[in-house]
């Protein structure tokens, strides 16, 4: 009987690990409740200004499986990772029971109203350009690479360059 219990426990652990690998690891801690979000965003804006990029704020929490799916997709897919690195400084804005960062969310138009993750695009001066409901980037049981790439390209500094639209 004891060997049967051990075998079942081992099988359950292996199944759990395989499921995690298959679904994408959602246990990464990319959000930091203890962080000073306002100061971190100010640093991201300064970096964006120095590098002529925009800031992509991904708001959510370590508890949010869809937040982890988006992060996994955009960091593991070479084309999406390249689009982000070319046009954005990324900041993960925490929203959790430990720290909801309500003053920061208020500053950016209460983006949490869309659920999580939600994306806030700032220009290199820290002005909010766009808030994106992530539901529009979904397809099936995940995110659409095509929709995510279109979103990233549409709000990149290059897409917003006025010289592209001169008569």
pLDDT digits (tens, 9 = 90+) for 15-29: 544 444 344 444 579
Are 54 and 65 contacting, i.e. CB atoms less than 8 angstroms apart? no
pLDDT at 28: 76
Spell out where 14-72 has E strands: 54-60
Query: Which CATH code, of 3.90.1570.10, 3.40.950.10, 3.40.50.300, 3.40.30.10, is assigned to 32-156?
Result: 3.40.30.10
Mean pLDDT to the nearest integer, 44-54: 98
Confidence of residue 13 (pLDDT cuts 50, 70, 90): low
Instruction: Identify the residue whose tokens are 């997709």.
Output: 73
Are 67 and 138 contacting, i.e. CB atoms less than 8 angstroms apart? no
Mean pLDDT to the nearest integer, 110-124: 98
Are 56 and 154 contacting, i.e. CB atoms less than 8 angstroms apart? no
The 10s digit of each residue's pLDDT in 155-167 is 999 999 999 998 7
Query: Residue 33 corresponds to which tokens in the numbers above?
Result: 């409740």
Where do the domains of the chain lie?
Answer: 32-156
pLDDT at 7: 52
Mean pLDDT of the chain, nearest integer:
89
Q: How far, CA to CA in Å, does 48 sit from each of 12, 28, 87, 122?
A: 46, 25, 9, 9
pLDDT at 2: 67
Confidence of residue 5 (pLDDT cuts 50, 70, 90): low
């Amino acid at each position: 009987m004891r060997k049967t219990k051990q075998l079942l426990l081992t099988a359950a652990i292996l199944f759990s690990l395989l499921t995690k690998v298959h679904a994408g690891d959602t246990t990464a801690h990319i959000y930091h409740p203890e962080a000073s979000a306002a100061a971190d965003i100010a640093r991201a804006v300064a970096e964006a200004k120095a590098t002529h990029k925009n800031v992509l704020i991904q708001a959510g929490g370590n508890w949010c499986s869809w937040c982890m799916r988006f992060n996994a997709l955009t960091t593991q897919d070479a084309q999406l990772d390249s689009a982000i690195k070319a046009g954005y400084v990324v900041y993960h804005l925490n929203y959790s029971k430990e720290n909801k960062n309500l003053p920061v969310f208020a500053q950016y138009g209460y983006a949490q109203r869309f659920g999580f993750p939600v994306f806030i695009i700032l220009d290199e001066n820290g002005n909010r350009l766009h808030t994106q409901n992530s539901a529009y980037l979904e397809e099936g049981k995940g995110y659409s690479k095509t929709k995510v790439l279109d979103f990233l390209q549409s709000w990149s500094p290059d897409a917003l360059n006025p010289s592209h639209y001169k008569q």
